[in-house]
């Protein structure tokens, strides 16, 4: 057994993973918090992106509109990632070989890197490697892709 497979088996056998697997209430609570986090994240990115694209809030500076939304996106991302890790812990070995889950993780990684490396400077009104409109549009599409891949993972499970 590879060291990764061994590690994933240990995660699945942990007390935390067993508690989540054995409790509908705990799983439901974590799922609800996960969805709240995703709503905060994608909703705040939608607000920011519409300003960056230039379709809404054009009478206000970019940094002003996106500053308020930034807090929501950070809280949403932290909540989504932490609850997502807990939710996948009881089935991490299976999930790690699931094609849809792998695609979701790749989109999540891409969205996070793009968000912090390209979108954030544009959202702060700083110089970015792409125009603010492109940064806003691509960021929203990436985060929405994470949501769609998550839905596919649940539905195809």
pLDDT at 41: 92
Model confidence at 13, pLDDT cuts 50, 70, 90, reads very high
Q: What is the mean pLDDT of the chain?
A: 88
77-90, pLDDT tens digit by residue? 999 999 999 999 99
Query: Is the distance from CB of 90 to CB of 21 less than 8 angstroms?
Result: yes
- Angle CA 51–52–57, to nearest 5: 15
Contacts of 14 (CB under 8 A, 6+ apart): 89
Q: Which of the residue ranges 4-8, 16-20, 25-29, 125-129 would you say has the lowest mean pLDDT?
A: 125-129
30-61, pLDDT tens digit by residue? 999 999 999 999 999 888 888 888 777 777 77
pLDDT at 88: 94
CA distance 7 to 93: 9
Q: Which of the residue ranges 59-63, 68-72, 133-137 would you say has the lowest mean pLDDT?
A: 59-63
> Which phi and psi angles does 8 have, rounded to 5°?
-65, -35
Mean pLDDT of 96-117: 92
Q: How close are the terminal C-alpha atoms of the chain, in Å? A: 25
Tokens standing for residue 114: 């793009």
Q: Where are the domains of the chain?
A: 3-155
CA distance 140 to 113: 13
Closest residue by Cα to residue 66 from 108, 128, 109? 128
Model confidence at 68, pLDDT cuts 50, 70, 90, reads confident
Query: Is the distance from CB of 138 to CB of 48 less than 8 angstroms?
Result: no
Q: Residue 57 in 3-state DSSP?
A: coil
Q: Residue 20 in 3-state DSSP?
A: helix
Q: Provide the whole-model pTM.
A: 0.83
pLDDT at 1 over 70: no
């Amino acid at each position: 057994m590879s060291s990764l497979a061994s590690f994933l088996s240990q995660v699945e056998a942990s007390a935390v993973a067993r508690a989540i697997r054995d409790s509908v209430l705990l799983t439901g609570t974590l799922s609800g918090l996960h969805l709240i986090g995703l709503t905060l994240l994608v909703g705040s990115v939608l607000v920011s992106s519409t300003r960056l694209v230039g379709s809404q809030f054009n009478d206000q500076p970019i940094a002003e509109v996106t500053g308020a939304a930034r807090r929501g996106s950070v809280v949403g991302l932290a909540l989504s990632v932490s609850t997502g890790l807990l939710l996948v812990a009881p089935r991490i070995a299976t999930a790690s070989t699931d094609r849809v889950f792998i695609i979701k993780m790749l989109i999540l990684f891409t969205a996070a890197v793009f968000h912090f490396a390209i979108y954030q400077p544009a959202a702060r009104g700083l110089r970015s490697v792409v125009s603010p409109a492109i940064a806003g549009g691509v960021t929203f599409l990436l985060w929405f892709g994470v949501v769609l891949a998550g839905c596919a993972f649940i539905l195809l499970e």
